[in-house]
A and B are shown apart, each in its own frame.
Chain A
């Protein structure tokens, strides 16, 4: 049964590339190019960083271990959250696995889902792991066997992370059912996972932030021949990624023999969770049956919900309000969208965390340098644009195409597609500007900018948000794709890539403009830059609105 499912998926991919071949081949090639570019970037980053560190015999092992710990922890966090999303919103969706569940082979569904998650994460994981390992091999002369051992440890970590997430979700569902059958709903499960992700994120943040590298590495101990790193290992021991980092640093510093122990450790963990996964499969069917029922939510059944509803339904007085309202509900009431938004917000917030660490360490050891500080502040705008692009790519960009199944409502109503597009623009620009304001207001507290600079920084962040929203929606409407309902699949396209590239390029320009402004350039130049960005947004939306009028919501458009 598993083989047939994988064959079916393979056939689907082949069929997908069977139509509009040239465009899809170019898209695939461009994505491959992006991955290669990312891999080369990671290689270069690790190569030059490790090469620099390798000069200092005293520090090189400890500092490289610190880099591996952080890197694997961050990638491990991404794998964990993406596994949660796959399980909650794909495995437990009645639509995806309904036919398998009614067959006697119903346990194939979780097995297939786990292997699919593993395969889809594995190649991306190798893309980010392999360059780092190869850079370490070039700098420290790690043997080929050592490289393979680290890669194996990485894959075993993936197995552990994905299967452990399955076991955790099934176990938690079973416990909820045992306490009271009505406790288990998709909502309660999503909430529990959100809490776990927040705890995990907080734990990561606290473990990273509480670490004073100077103290942990014993740098102030003038008699030591090499920096101690037992504190470092102990600090990250609670995370399973620690075993991968330890394998890598042992391969690098002491050879294959000592690296085998942490590798065995991760093997043991992986085997244990796979065994637990097979053991927990007997809970799968009753849990699936409940979760696939749908919410059957009676949201207006209590007074509070009714009051809240009255406030929101006041928006339903005009076509503008109606579309604004349905976008709002689709973004925040849909658990999958809300989970994605939370995930992206956490990543965005993590850059504020990095700034806190950076600032704290600069102050602690009196490394304050005005040039470094202003560069860092200006670079925030590139980071903002990148995170905005990620959110716009996930939500705003596919928004026009995903109206395909509901086009009968809007297309038959007395409202123009151009107006629909402008309302969507107002919605996404407002929501993302608000989010950008919240995150960047916190960021500004860390960066200690003068009030005038802080005002211009926030203004530029909002203008960037408006421009990128216009770009995302315009690209989505000018190049609609009605072949899929899945926003992730809709985003995986040439226009999607164009959005991200353009956002990064624009972000770099905005950073430059702001850098010049805080270093004494005339404010008028920055005002002109913002005016130009707004005019560009207006032009993009006008073009998209004109072209949207000709759209027919049919496959093959």
Chain B
């Protein structure tokens, strides 16, 4: 299984948000996209998940093209957005059940998965409260569980730990790393460089819609000429 993004371009009117970006990630990899605000990271993520139509280029998830075979491709994706908003007047548990049904998870499997997932962040006691009443962090936790519910092959994450308390952030990082270790692919957008440094197999630097550099931390250090022990933050500042 591989995620392949080829010559991806996305325009909003005259503005080019993503310009001819290509990269790929294979099973077992955590690929982090980092870059300044407005550089096009979220647009790439939204195009990969099928929320946006590309102006040019393609997104291939396994053997499926997200534009040509969206149903098959989306069945493989779990998406965690940067702003997890759900419909009003539904509870956290109902939210998970609805997402399960949308991803064709059978009722019994859905029940089993919910029972298995809720304890990860200790959410059992609040599962019957309305989603809109949750704190930012709890909404984020439910959206993480929803993304994992149907056992996806590709996890697409936009800002994974914003709003999470330190303990939950640790749990989330471990969850994503384990997901990759078990053969999944993680595509992650983050401003928290420490997270990227800790769990990313490879990192893509993006600025003004263009991919400036791709590689593992050592390759990026070499490219930035920052020395073998430079932190990701130092590399980031040198490259952008």
Contacts and interface: CB of A to CB of B under 8 A. Distances in A.
B57 to A, nearest CB: 16
A322 B96 CA distance: 10
Contact of B79 (A301, A405, A408, A553): A408
A326 B90 contact: yes
A406 interface: yes
B53 A416 contact: no
A319 B106 CA distance: 11
Interface string A232-264: 000000000000000000000000000000000
B129 A298 contact: yes
Interface stretch (B1-9, B97-105, B115-123, B210-218): B97-105
B49 A322 contact: no
A317 interface: yes
B89 A330 contact: yes
Interface string A393-434: 000000000000111111111111000000000000000000
B130 A330 contact: no
B52 interface: yes
Interface string A306-340: 00000001001111011101100110011000000
A407 B85 CA distance: 9
A462 to B, nearest CB: 28
Nearest to A405: B85
A294 interface: yes
Nearest to A420: B102
B75 interface: yes
Contacts of A414: 70-72, 74-75, 102-104
A410 B103 CA distance: 10
Contact of B99 (A300, A318, A321, A409): A409
A316 B87 contact: no
A295 interface: yes
Given A297-B130, A316-B107, A413 B89 contact: no
A296 interface: yes
A296 B98 contact: no
Nearest to A322: B101
A306 to B, nearest CB: 9
Contact of B89 (A316, A322, A329, A409): A329
A326 B87 contact: yes
A309 B30 CA distance: 39
B52 A552 contact: yes
Contacts of B130: 294-297, 299
B77 interface: yes
A294 B132 contact: yes
B101 A416 contact: no
A409 B86 contact: yes
Contact of A322 (B13, B71, B88, B98): B98
Contacts of B204: none
Contacts, number: 117
A301 B129 CA distance: 10
A321 B53 CA distance: 27
A49 B98 CA distance: 56
B99 A406 contact: no
A313 B97 contact: yes
B192 interface: no
B209 interface: no
Nearest to B81: A408
A556 B49 contact: no
A411 B49 contact: yes
A316 B101 contact: yes
B76 to A, nearest CB: 9
B219 interface: no
B190 interface: no
A554 B52 contact: yes
A329 B129 contact: no
Interface string B42-81: 0000000111110000000000000000111011010101
B86 A406 contact: yes
A550 interface: yes
Contacts of B100: 316, 322
B75 A326 contact: no
Contact of B85 (A298, A325, A330, A406): A406
A322 B52 contact: no
Contact of B128 (A301, A317, A416): A301
B172 to A, nearest CB: 18
A20 B130 CA distance: 37
Interface of A: 294-301, 313, 316-319, 321-323, 325-326, 329-330, 333-334, 405-416, 550, 552-554, 556
Given A323-B102, A413-B99, 15 more contacts: A316-B97, A316-B98, A321-B101, A325-B98, A326-B94, A330-B87, A405-B85, A408-B79, A408-B85, A409-B99, A411-B50, A413-B102, A413-B103, A414-B75, A552-B53
Closest 5 CB pairs of A and B: A322-B101, A333-B89, A294-B133, A413-B102, A412-B79
Interface of B: 12-13, 49-53, 70-72, 74-75, 77, 79, 81, 83-91, 93-94, 97-104, 106-107, 110, 128-130, 132-133, 146, 156
